Amino acid sequence: KNLRIVISMYRVLLICTSAGEASWGAKTGLWLDELSIPYYILKDAGYEIEICSIKGGKPPVDPSFFTSGDIHEKSSQFIDDSEAQKKFNNSIPLREFSTNGRLESKSPESHDLLQYSAILLCGGHGCVDDFVDNEDIRDVVEFMYSIRKGCVGAICHGPLGLANCKHEGKLILAGKFVAAFSNEEEEVLGLSDVLPVLTEDLMDRAGAVCVPAEPWKANVVVDGRLVTGQNPQSSLEIALRMLDVLRSLGDEFSSPLNVNKPWGM
């Protein structure tokens, strides 16, 4: 039995937006750091990383990411990494991981969430248009949280996908401490009165206790098996805290390479 655990593949599913043309008239998409940094941190800890998106194919990256002047070295590495780019450019439609989608498409065993230790909802303003009340996200989150009983992570605008998810008949977020892209950060960007929904507001409506930090400061909150991060600056820490949670869940979820390290490493 121990041998089986050691040689079995440990997997994490990273979930991206497919919305590149925003309903409010802007070019939008994924904020790449929120995918690339967890990709490498989790991969280096012994996890096979699968990338999916709402519609499949190449997820749009927010054009302002490339002009922000603050591109993390992991994103530069990701852009030059042929293996990572192949996964990114051919991201799997999220529906293939959902219960109904797997039945319809007869998708392979590698799309069975029972084979995964965790999922991470990556952010970017595109999530505002296609993560809110998305039935496939809801199905995948509820399966990972309630049936697989693994780790669920969400960063920046990613927590929008959690708002309507339920566990044992109640909203997963009810009473949970969370971090998410703050109303103050949207205000700094001049988007408070432009977006159809504000992430922090939706967290409040779902009964979560939102604990925002100052704009653009790393802020990650762990509440049980739920790990949430506020903004792109939280991308490193959310991956590290997810690894902490996975270690706490034991050998079924934690890769042998997922060893404890001092905080901040």
Which pLDDT belongs to residue 4? 41
Segment 78-89 shows an average pLDDT of: 98
Does residue 236 carry a pLDDT above 70? yes
Does residue 20 carry a pLDDT above 80? yes
Which pLDDT belongs to residue 258? 96
Cα-based distances in Å from 153 to 62, 78, 111: 21, 20, 18
Which pLDDT belongs to residue 265? 52
> Mean of the per-residue pLDDT values for the chain?
93
pLDDT tens digits along 32-47: 999 999 999 999 999 9
Instruction: Work out the angle at residue 106's Cα, subtended by the Cα atoms of residues 100 and 111, and round it to the nearest 5 degrees.
Output: 80
pLDDT tens digits along 91-119: 999 999 987 777 676 677 778 999 999 99
Which pLDDT belongs to residue 264? 52
**Strand intervals (E) in 58-138:** 92-93, 116-121
pLDDT tens digits along 145-163: 999 999 999 999 999 999 9
- Give 99 or 212, the one with higher predicted confidence: 212
> What pTM was estimated for this model as a whole?
0.94
Percent of the chain with pLDDT over 70: 94
123 touches 158 (CB < 8 A): yes
Which pLDDT belongs to residue 3? 39
Cα Rg for the chain, rounded, in angstroms? 17
Does residue 8 carry a pLDDT above 60? no
Q: Which tokens in the block code for residue 83?
A: 């293996």
Does residue 18 carry a pLDDT above 80? yes
Q: Which tokens in the block code for residue 96?
A: 């293939």
Segment 220-244 shows an average pLDDT of: 98
Does residue 13 carry a pLDDT above 50? yes
